């Protein structure tokens, strides 16, 4: 039995997220599994590094699956990209040891979020950035970023319901780069809770607009109350850049 690792790029705009849904074929996982069955004749469930929400994109999602096919990695990649929709691309196919697991072996991830910060919206960036017309105070936002870096309980910055699992995560790096009118938020960490990046970004934006103070970061860490943090920004401006192993 071979263990195949896929690196996947996709435009999530027309999909209901990564995870396969029983009554819908509009998921990334479902589309890829359909092509694997066509390719190998086997009913196979692929394992992703994690779920991405409806509308979220990926430059470097990772998944693995077990198969008995004798196709070469190059042949598999060609087959995938011939039969997958053109908004899902397999950028790399690798063979891994039997015990490799795309989710359990992941050591960290990087996400990007894009904000178009100008009074006039962008026709070209509208599908991949969130429009904020008011001028943002980047200095205050950077002060808040510094508070978020490190190991903290991010329960108040997530959409998780009550859970027995740990909500402590480590953010190693969090930056905001100004690329003209486009703000590029980069989050690097050992793992992220449900909607955590979108809630953190929404909180930073509200700090930049003066709706929240920088001190809200410490307050939410202490209270763990989701409602005290900022809004959840839309998914269409979020990208999973890479998964580290």
Q: Mind telling me the catalytic residues?
A: 53
Q: Are strands 168-179 and 150-153 parallel, antiparallel or unpaired?
A: antiparallel
- Count of positions (residues) in the chain: 245
Query: Which residue, chain included where needed, has tokens 């435009």?
Result: 11
Q: How far apart are CA 18 and CA 137, in angstroms?
A: 34
Contact between residue 63 and residue 47 where contact means Cβ atoms under 8 Å apart: yes
Task: Show the beta-strand stretches assigned E in the chain.
Answer: 2-10, 47-48, 57-67, 88-96, 108-116, 130-131, 150-153, 168-179, 182-189, 238-244
């Amino acid at each position: 039995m071979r263990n195949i690792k896929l690196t996947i790029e996709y435009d999530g705009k027309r999909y209901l997220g990564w995870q396969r849904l029983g009554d819908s074929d509009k998921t990334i996982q479902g589309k890829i599994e359909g092509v694997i069955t066509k390719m190998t004749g086997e009913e196979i469930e692929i394992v992703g590094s994690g779920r991405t929400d409806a509308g979220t994109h990926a430059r470097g999602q990772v998944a693995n699956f077990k198969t008995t096919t004798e196709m070469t990695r190059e042949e598999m990649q060609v087959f995938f990209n011939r039969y997958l929709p053109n908004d899902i691309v397999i950028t790399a196919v690798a063979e891994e040891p039997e015990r490799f697991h795309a989710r359990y072996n992941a050591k960290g991830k990087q996400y990007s979020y894009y904000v178009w910060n100008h009074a006039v919206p962008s026709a070209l960036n509208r599908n991949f950035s969130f429009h904020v017309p008011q001028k943002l105070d980047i200095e205050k936002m950077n002060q808040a970023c510094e508070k978020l870096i490190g190991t903290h309980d991010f329960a108040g910055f997530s959409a998780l319901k009550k859970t027995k699992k740990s909500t402590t995560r480590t953010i190693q790096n969090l930056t905001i780069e100004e690329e003209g009118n486009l703000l590029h938020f980069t989050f690097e960490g050992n793992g992220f809770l449900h909607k955590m990046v979108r809630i953190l970004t929404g909180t930073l934006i509200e700090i930049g607009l003066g709706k929240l103070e920088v001190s809200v970061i410490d307050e939410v860490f202490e209270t763990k109350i989701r409602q005290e943090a900022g809004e959840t920004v839309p998914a269409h401006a979020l990208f999973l850049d890479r998964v580290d192993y």
